[in-house]
Amino acid sequence: MMREKIQSALKAAQAEGAKRRAATLRLVQTAIKDRDAAARENGRDGVSGEEVLDILQKMVRQRDLSASEFEQDGQLDLAEQERVERDIIREFLPAQLDDSEMRKICEETLKDIDASGLRDIGRCMNELKSRYPGKMDFVQASCLVKDLLRTNPSPPDTDTPPSTSGDQ
């Protein structure tokens, strides 16, 4: 479904003469086709819809990084071009969670899976990816989970009252 959206957006951009948009959408299609070819070499049928979302998110991160590097070098026109491409690619991603929503979700997930230390990062990230595919930047989420586990390695259980030492 995502591939069809990209293809129809490319056709529309070409019909409108939107060269930057068409070029960006061709880059997206090429990245997906390259990943498809690599998957086929490994005996798979191609990439899944979830993997397409990962490709798009990676392309957005790359453009953010390039834009900031160009800006630091004083190449503002190239920085703006990267931001335009980033915005075009973002159109095909689901609405992203903001930082406060992501923090709340990460905290809830840590509690849900009873994470108690850094060794639980992988379990937590797998759970986040299954619950919120494409809706958050998982690189950023991973850093947040790591920080949460460092600062609060054993989340308190809010369902049971704290024990007192004089109960015995």
Residue 76 pLDDT more than 60? Answer: yes
Higher pLDDT, 15 or 135: 15
The three-class DSSP label of residue 75 is coil
List, in order, residues 6 or more apart from 136 with CB less than 8 Å away.
Answer: 96, 97, 102, 105, 128
Percent of the chain with pLDDT over 70: 90
Measure the CA–CA gap between 11 and 43, rounded to whole angstroms.
31
When pLDDT is averaged across residues 92-110 and rounded to a whole number, the result is 90
Residue 80 pLDDT exceeds 70? yes
Task: Return the CATH class of domain 2-91.
Answer: mainly alpha
86-90, 127-131, 159-163: the lowest-pLDDT one: 159-163
The pLDDT value recorded for residue 97 is: 87
pLDDT score of 167: 47
Residue spans in the chain of domains classed CATH 1.10.10.410: 99-151
CATH of 99-151, one of 1.10.10.410, 3.30.390.10, 1.10.10.10, 3.30.70.920: 1.10.10.410
Q: Indicate where the chain has its CATH 1.10.1510.10 domain(s).
A: 2-91
What's the confidence (pLDDT) of residue 132? 87
Mean pLDDT of the chain: 87
Q: 133-159 in b/e burial notation, b at 16+ Cβ within 10 A?
A: ebbbbbeebbebbeebbeeeeeeeeee
Mean pLDDT of 111-122: 89
Could you tell me the two tokens for 120?
């639980």
